[in-house]
């Protein structure tokens, strides 16, 4: 054996062929106006400490370097380069993999870290290198960088403090309380700060830092939904009146619908339904907006991980993921980028990378979603992540019980994600990225996969379960202990590194952790399951029954709070709402000089154009249950309406559909909300879902609700949601609101997102063999449009392409007959009368027919249009409409079922052209070329 070499070792790993990240950097440099940057090399770097011999290093080399695709060297690199390393304490999954490999090889590695090396040739100046690194690669929120080589910094070796600090708030006036709020980033209202002060004045002591932070997280907008629980005074035609709290409205709506398949709604981590006897389905959708704005990869990555844990936290096995993403324009000039914001391309690439990384690595298909672009999302990207899970039908857990042990399972605790709940509840500005670094988490999907393996099948061993998300242990244990009480010892919580203060351990939002309540007799069984898969299991305390939350570090008290005050002591918000006054009576048409050119422009619009470049980043078929995929048709490039999963089994399945159109909300928020529900319903019905067995999720992303006009839009949107739910008899079972999605620029101006409501519909598919897709199937078949077309253009994509007039007219109105029509259409699908089906949404009828032609690579001869005005017939976006393909012989039967609600359009042809009345034929290949407009995914970023 050769003698050990130095303790610090460095392995540089390069691709045998050109690294795709290098190509992304070259493309990004060109966008930055640096076309001469055409030769860049990217390498991965592994740092490790340990007394390792050369033979042992070679052993590690064989494990860490793929000889077919990579080369590796332990020698110090030379040449011009910049190296990027993670900041101390940031989660480093690559380093964890190195430690795991070393353990498997029985080698001792004391410390490991990973980084990135970017090598430039001598023709590139230092200033250009700095521009490339700062604009395209390094994110100061989580990384540091330097020219040449960089040495990793361990997160610290200091001993952890053993006492909590106190924060003086007794006797403070409003100004002094506001100063404490700002100093600690609590994001509490003045009334809430007074309530905290008064509580501790009555207790005769000052709060500890951990107690104050616990209250701030629990009372945050993110956790407490205090706007949706507020008393709202709204103006209206009948004067000023007090409104029922928004969350109460949604819950009452679900209660009144009283759908027999709902097992649990608005309780716990996710909604639960039972469409087919013997199997329950858990559904949840979350937002991760603010984190994705400052660290796109980590924000989206942990958004996916968090919503997966929500489903796991209702004792269901996750089976699929969804995502809806909203970005600023990918071609936004750098000169128009607000101060302190990342470029939309970089945000988009990082978010897509983050979604793909988590879903693909954890082994779940990403099956449904949407991508929207608008200037208003430039500084406020929106990331909606959803998850669906299944479980054998059983009673939901009703613990914890007094005497149950508090077990924390999964990843270790570090400084990542501290104050994430309050950060997500605040308005961002140009300095947000500089101060919010600790609010960003980095995920580790492999650990979460092991956590799933440990918990699925262990349902009989615990009495309660929740995920450790916003607020960390403070929220997870604090919520579980409500009405019971808990005594927790932080000394038992596994840490990633030493030096954490007690309040940091308690508040950290480190990922991949779950909390369960376990009877003492079952603790060893849980421990054995965790040992088998290789995840931590820590017994940190007990549920006491005394109604208090006691958190200790050994014998030192860190938190001692009355749980009734923690959960019910927050003053209810009272907010004024200024209700919108939309135009609903004066429809205004449009003049379209060149309908064919307009159709091409619509197909090229980034909101409508193919999302294949993104969809192919995700594995949407893993697990082998995806019956209807996101892309369908002859060439696998046609957009599906909804997707279908073959779970539950025995011919049953579930359909998932998405509805979102914020541009309607700029004109009529109530109609926008109804339209979003309608679109989600159409998407599931179009693929074979039963409209009488649909559960809905709502996700609101809004601006600052303390502005009366913004709150009025939110109130109107909730009205629209409830009206639509009653119309379709489809209950909401879970939801999430993300407010304060605003950015204060360097000029002091506020930039808010448009009112963005995402509706997810999950429907029962009674027979997966009866599913249909939008691709045209057979020449000679008849095309029919189901539903009515009206003069409705406000918020339309026609206006996004051509520009809206000063008075845009009316937004698409609710269709009161849609629910009955969807039931009859479902009957026709089950009877085998429908050959293909596609909903009419963005871009109107012309886009819907073009997409069907593209998907099937067949033409269509349209003989008549559903409205006398050509522009209205082709481009209006009226709700409640679908295009169906039927065999000629089935037309009479379909019309009988639909009660003449279907209008004949024309026939499928084999000419390879789309033929519209009075217009020249359009080759389907030309339409496909416009639709397949590459969105440049990966052109900027993707390296950081």
Has residue 344 got a pLDDT over 80? yes
Q: How confident is the model at residue 795 (pLDDT cuts 50, 70, 90)?
A: very high
pLDDT 10s digits, 23-35: 888 887 877 777 7
In contact, 583 and 786? CB cutoff 8 Å: no
Model confidence band, residue 782 (pLDDT cutoffs 50, 70, 90): very high
pLDDT higher at 455 or 36: 455
Instruction: State mean pLDDT over 641-655.
Output: 88
- What is the model's pLDDT at position 419? 57
The pLDDT value recorded for residue 156 is 65
CA distance 467 to 462: 14
pLDDT value at position 2? 41
What does the pLDDT average to over 549-573? Answer: 95
Sign of the torsion formed by the C-alpha atoms of 765, 771, 775 and 776: negative
- Would you call 317 helix, strand, or coil by DSSP? strand
Q: How would you write 46-88 as a 3-class SS string?
A: EEEECCCEHHHHHHHHHHHCCCCCEEEECCCCCCCEEEEEECC
Three-state SS at 716: helix
Question: DSSP secondary-structure letter at 586?
Answer: -
pLDDT recorded at residue 173: 96
pLDDT of residue 649: 64
Structure tokens at 908: 């499928």
Greater model confidence, 434 or 868: 868
336: enclosing H helix or E strand? none
DSSP string, 188-250: --HHHHHHHHHHHHHHTSPPBHHHHHHHHHHTSHHHH-TTTTSEEEE--TT--EEEPPHHHHH
Contact of 385 with 321, CB cutoff 8 Å: yes
Report d(CA 298, CA 315) in Å as an integer.
26
Those residues whose C-beta lies under 8 Å from the C-beta of residue 621, and which sit 6 or more positions away, are 365, 629
Per-residue pLDDT band at 841 (split at 50, 70, 90) = very high
State the average pLDDT over residues 665-673: 98
Helix axes 93-104, 54-64, angle to 10 degrees: 120
Active site residue 290: no
Q: Looking at the predicted structure, is the pLDDT value of residue 940 above 60? A: no
Average pLDDT on 300-305 reads 94
- Give me the catalytic one of 222, 567, 620, 764: 222
Nearest-angstrom CA–CA distance, 114 and 64: 12
Provide the pLDDT for residue 700: 97
For tokens 């929106």, what's the residue?
A: 382
Residue 501: what pLDDT? 87
Report the helix count and the strand count for the chain, using DSSP H and E. 30, 40
Kindly report which listed range (159-168, 188-197, 457-466, 813-822) carries the lowest average pLDDT score: 159-168
Sign of dihedral through CA atoms 785, 786, 792, 793?
negative
pLDDT of 822 above 50: yes
The residues with which 701 forms a beta bridge, in sequence order, are 738, 756
Computed over every residue of the chain, the mean pLDDT equals 91
Asked if 578 and 712 touch (Cβ cutoff 8 Å), the reply is: yes
Q: Residues 495-541: pLDDT tens digits? A: 887 888 899 899 988 889 999 999 999 999 999 999 999 999 999 99
Task: Exactly one of 47, 288, 567, 826 is catalytic; name it.
Answer: 288
Q: How many CA atoms lie less than 13 Å away from 808 in the CB half-sphere?
A: 22
DSSP letter for each residue of 206-219: PPBHHHHHHHHHHT
The vertex-623 CA angle with 621 and 628, nearest 5°, equals 40
Which pair of tokens denotes residue 867?
A: 């409205």
CA distance 273 to 265: 8
Give the pairing type, strands 70-73 and 8-15. Answer: antiparallel
Q: Look at residue 329 and tell me whether its pLDDT is greater than 60.
A: yes
User: Bridge partners of 639?
Assistant: 631
How would residue 942 be classed by pLDDT, with cut points 50, 70 and 90?
Answer: very low
The angle that helices 20-31 and 344-362 make with each other, rounded to 10 degrees, is 160
Which residues have a Cβ under 8 Å from the Cβ of 24 and sit 6 or more positions away? 349, 938, 939, 940, 941, 942, 943
How many whole angstroms separate alpha carbon 734 and alpha carbon 266? Answer: 5
**pLDDT surpassing 80 at residue 238:** no
Spatial contact of 793 and 666, defined as CB atoms under 8 Å apart: no
9, 108 Cβ separation under 8 angstroms: no
The pLDDT, as a whole number, for residue 943 is: 27
Whether 853 and 907 have beta carbons less than 8 Å apart is answered as: no
Q: What is the pLDDT of residues 575-612, one digit of tens each?
A: 999 999 999 999 999 999 999 999 999 999 999 999 99
Q: How confident is the model at residue 295 (pLDDT cuts 50, 70, 90)?
A: confident
Give residue 829's pLDDT: 98
User: Above pLDDT 70, what percent of the chain?
Assistant: 94
* CA torsion angle 134 138 140 146 (round to 10): -80
Tell me the range of 78-82, 254-258, 427-431, 649-653 where mean pLDDT is highest.
254-258
Tell me the β-bridge partners of 27.
none
CA distances from 793 to 764, 846, 850, 866 (A): 33, 14, 20, 16
Spatial distance between the Cα atoms of 146 and 79, rounded to a whole number of angstroms = 14
705-741 b/e with 16+ CB inside 10 Å = b? bebbebbbbbbbbbbbbbbbbebbebbbbbbbbbbbb
Among residues 788, 707, 794, 719, which one has the least CA distance to residue 757? 719
Q: How many CB atoms lie within 10 A of CB 139?
A: 23
Residue 129 predicted with pLDDT over 50: yes
Residue 193: the pLDDT is 97
Q: What is the CA radius of gyration of the chain?
A: 28
CA–CA dist 685, 822 (Å, integer) = 7
Active site residue 225: no
- H/E stretch holding 686 reads none
User: How many residues in the chain?
Assistant: 944
CA gap 484, 487 in Å, rounded: 11
Query: Tokens 């919503």 belong to which residue?
Result: 307
Query: What confidence tier does 423 reach under pLDDT thresholds 50, 70, 90?
Result: very low
Q: What is the pLDDT of residue 161?
A: 65
Q: pLDDT by residue (tens digit) across 160-203? A: 667 789 999 999 999 999 999 999 889 899 999 999 999 999 99
Two structure tokens written together for 326: 């909203």
Q: Is the dihedral of CA 123, 126, 132, 137 positive or negative?
A: positive
Q: Encoding tokens for residue 819? A: 């629910």
């Amino acid at each position: 054996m050769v003698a050990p070499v130095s303790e610090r070792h460095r392995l540089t790993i390069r691709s045998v062929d050109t690294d795709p990240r290098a190509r992304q950097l070259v493309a990004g440099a060109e966008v930055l106006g640096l076309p001469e940057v055409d030769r860049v090399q990217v390498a991965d770097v592994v740092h490790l400490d340990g007394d390792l011999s050369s033979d042992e290093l070679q052993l590690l080399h064989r494990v860490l370097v793929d000889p077919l695709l990579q080369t590796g060297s332990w020698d110090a690199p030379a040449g011009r380069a910049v190296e990027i390393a993670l900041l101390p304490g940031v989660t480093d999954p690559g380093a964890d993999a190195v430690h795991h490999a070393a353990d498997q090889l029985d080698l001792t590695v004391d410390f490991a870290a990973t980084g990135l090396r970017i090598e430039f040739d001598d023709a590139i100046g230092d200033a250009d290198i700095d521009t490339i690194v700062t604009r395209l690669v390094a994110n100061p929120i989580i990384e540091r960088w330097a020219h040449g080589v960089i040495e990793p910094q361990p997160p610290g070796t200091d001993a952890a403090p053993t006492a909590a600090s106190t924060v003086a708030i007794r006797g403070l006036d409003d100004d002094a309380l506001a100063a404490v709020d700002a100093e600690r980033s609590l994001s509490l209202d003045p009334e809430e700060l007074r309530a905290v002060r008064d509580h501790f004045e009555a207790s005769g002591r000052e709060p500890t830092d951990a107690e104050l932070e616990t209250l701030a997280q629990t009372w945050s907008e993110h956790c407490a939904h205090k706007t949706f629980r507020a008393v709202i005074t709204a103006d209206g035609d009948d004067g000023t009146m007090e409104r029922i709290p928004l969350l109460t409205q949604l819950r009452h709506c679900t209660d009144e619908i009283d759908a027999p398949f709902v097992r649990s709604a608005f309780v716990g981590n996710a909604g639960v339904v039972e469409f087919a006897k013997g199997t329950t389905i858990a559904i949840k959708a979350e937002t991760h907006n603010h984190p994705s704005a400052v660290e796109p990869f980590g924000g989206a990555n942990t958004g996916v991980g968090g919503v997966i844990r929500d489903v796991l936290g209702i004792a269901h096995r996750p089976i699929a993921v969804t995502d809806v993403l909203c970005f600023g324009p990918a071609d936004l000039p750098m000169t128009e980028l607000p101060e302190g914001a990342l470029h939309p391309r970089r945000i988009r690439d990082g978010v897509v990378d983050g979604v793909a990384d988590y879903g693909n690595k954890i082994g779940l298909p990403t099956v449904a979603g949407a991508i929207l672009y608008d200037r208003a999302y430039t500084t406020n990207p929106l990331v909606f992540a959803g998850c669906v899970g299944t479980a054998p039908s059983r009673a939901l857990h009703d613990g914890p019980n007094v005497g149950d042990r508090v077990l924390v399972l999964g990843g270790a605790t570090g400084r990542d994600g501290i104050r994430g709940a309050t950060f997500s509840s605040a308005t961002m500005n140009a300095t947000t990225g500089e101060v919010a670094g600790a609010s960003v988490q980095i995920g580790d999907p492999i650990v979460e996969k092991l956590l799933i393996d440990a918990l699925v099948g262990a349902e009989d061993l615990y009495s309660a379960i929740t995920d450790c998300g916003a607020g960390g242990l403070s929220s997870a244990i604090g919520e579980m202990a409500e009405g019971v009480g808990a005594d927790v010892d932080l000394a038992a919580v596994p840490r990633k590194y030493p030096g954490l203060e007690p309040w940091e351990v308690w508040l950290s939002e480190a990922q991949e952790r779950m909390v369960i309540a376990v009877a003492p007799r079952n603790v060893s069984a849980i421990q054995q399951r965790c040992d088998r898969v290789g995840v931590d299991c820590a017994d940190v305390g007990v549920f006491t029954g005394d109604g208090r939350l006691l958190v200790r570090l050994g014998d030192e008290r860190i938190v001692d709070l009355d749980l009734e005050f923690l959960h019910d002591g927050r003053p209810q918000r009272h907010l004024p709402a200024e209700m919108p006054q939309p135009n609903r009576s004066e429809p205004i048409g449009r003049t379209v000089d060149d309908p064919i050119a307009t159709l091409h422009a619509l197909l090229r619009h980034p909101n409508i154009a193919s999302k294949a470049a993104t969809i192919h980043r995700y594995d949407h078929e893993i697990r082998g249950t995806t019956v209807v995929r996101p892309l369908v048709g002859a060439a696998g490039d046609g957009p599906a309406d909804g997707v279908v999963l073959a779970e539950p089994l025995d011919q049953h399945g579930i359909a998932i559909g998405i509805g979102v159109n914020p541009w309607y909300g700029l004109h009529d928020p109530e109609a926008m909300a109804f339209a979003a529900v309608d679109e989600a319903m159409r998407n599931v019905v179009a693929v074979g879902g039963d409209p009488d067995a649909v559960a809905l999720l709502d996700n609101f992303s809004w601006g600052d609700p303390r502005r009366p006009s913004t709150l009025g839009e939110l109130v109107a949107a909730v009205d629209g949601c409830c009206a639509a739910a009653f119309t379709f008899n489809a209950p909401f079972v879970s939801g999430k609101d993300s407010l304060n999605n605003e950015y204060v620029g360097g000029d002091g101006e506020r930039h808010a997102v448009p009112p963005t409501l995402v509706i997810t519909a999950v429907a029962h598919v009674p027979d997966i063999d009866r599913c249909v897709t939008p691709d045209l199937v057979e020449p000679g078949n008849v095309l029919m449009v189901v539903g009515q077309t009206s003069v409705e253009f406000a918020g339309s994509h026609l206006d996004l392409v051509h520009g809206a007039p000063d008075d845009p007219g009316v937004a698409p109105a609710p269709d009161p007959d849609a629910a009955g029509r969807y039931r009859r259409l479902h009957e026709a699908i089950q009877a085998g009368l429908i050959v293909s089906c596609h909903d009419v949404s963005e871009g109107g009828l012309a886009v819907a027919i073009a997409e069907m032609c593209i998907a099937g690579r067949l033409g269509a001869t349209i003989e008549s249009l559903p409205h006398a005005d050509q522009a209205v017939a082709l481009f209006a976006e009226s709700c409640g409409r679908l295009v169906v393909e039927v065999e000629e012989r089935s037309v009479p039967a379909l019309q009988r079922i639909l009660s003449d609600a279907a209008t004949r359009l024309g026939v499928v042809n084999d000419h390879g052209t789309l033929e519209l009345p009075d217009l020249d034929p359009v080759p389907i290949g030309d339409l496909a070329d416009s639709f397949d407009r590459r969105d440049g995914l990966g052109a900027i970023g993707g390296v950081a």
